[in-house]
Amino acid sequence: MAKHKKEKDNTFKQLRYALKQVWDADRLLLPFTLFKNSIEQIFYVFFFVYLTKYIFNCIERNIEYSKLFWFLIFACLGHVCVHFICGWYETYRKIKMPEVYRHIFHRVMDISDTLELSDYESPEFYDRYARALDRCAEQAIDLSIQTGVYIGNVGATIMSLVIVVMVDPVLLIFMIVPMVVSLYYGNKNGKCNYDREKAITRDKRTADYVKRVYYEKKYASEIRLFDINSIMLDKQEKAVERMGEVSLKYRMKSAFYSFLMKGSYSVLAGIAAYFYVAFRIKHGEVSDISSYVAMITAMAFSTDQLKHAVENRIYLSN
């Protein structure tokens, strides 16, 4: 228990440190990233779930067309605004990313100077160091993006579940198993992706090293003239082959987990829920058919959001 708590504390400190580096590099990029990715996920609940329900309700109840028209106009304007924010964010990020890269890379170099040379002799330590150099800047900004998406996933899941409960709480029963499956296999899928990246680190470093020395001016001519070039090419070829084999193994596992997750909520949150709705309609217990049809979409949406939330949490913790 104490070990698990310590790991959680270390994860939180690492996440906070990475986000702080983005904050120090640019004070607007981090909040902008969190806001954009959170609001984007939450808006989809309104646009793809509530809007569908509203349109069907208007048609079924013969609501005046002008009301539906203006509601759709405002919904589309909201969608345009979200896309405008996304476009503005992408432009701003491209402008500011060089500054973020420079700041974080300098921080990594400063920390590297404090390490003992003997540390670099450990293959495991050097693997972690190489992975840190390779991912430091990209991972820092990715963490801020995934944090925003994670917040949005959780918010979208809660909002879509609230909408489902407002129509018929019984529908939540069909989501229990898919949610448990999503939590379990989403966790496994996130760990699988992390293990794959960790497993190919050394071979990736070998392949990148050979490629680099072939194009460095002070090594290029000698390498091409002597037999060492065939040795290095052989090492690179084997490294690439191993990366392919390892990636295939982990990607097959990831595909299997994704199949189980999608299958669970397609069958239980989809087909089973349709049978329940059809039964109630046939027995005249449902007057608002469109709401039920829209809620099945909401159930699949919320389960998918939960799956992504779990995967993003694993990404953040690794």
Q: What is the CA radius of gyration of the chain?
A: 25
- pLDDT-derived band at 286 (thresholds 50, 70, 90) equals low
Per-residue pLDDT reduced to its tens digit, 193-216:
778 878 887 788 788 777 777 666
Q: Where are the domains of the chain?
A: 18-317
Q: Is the dihedral of CA 51, 57, 62, 64 positive or negative?
A: negative
The model's pTM: 0.59
> According to the model, what pLDDT value does residue 221 have?
64
If one compares 123 and 73, the residue with the highest pLDDT of the two is 73
Would you state the structure tokens that stand for residue 27, as one six-digit string?
A: 């004070």
Architecture of the domain spanning 18-317: Up-down Bundle (1.20)
- pLDDT-derived band at 177 (thresholds 50, 70, 90) equals confident
Per-residue pLDDT reduced to its tens digit, 226-236:
667 777 778 88
What is the residue type of 166?
Answer: M
> According to the model, what pLDDT value does residue 4 have?
46
- Is pLDDT of 108 > 80? no
**Range among 61-70, 129-138, 213-222, 262-271 rated most confident:** 61-70
CA dist 71 and 294 (Å) reads: 17
> According to the model, what pLDDT value does residue 88 have?
92
- pLDDT-derived band at 304 (thresholds 50, 70, 90) equals low
- Is pLDDT of 149 > 80? no
User: Which element (helix H / strand E) includes 269?
Assistant: none
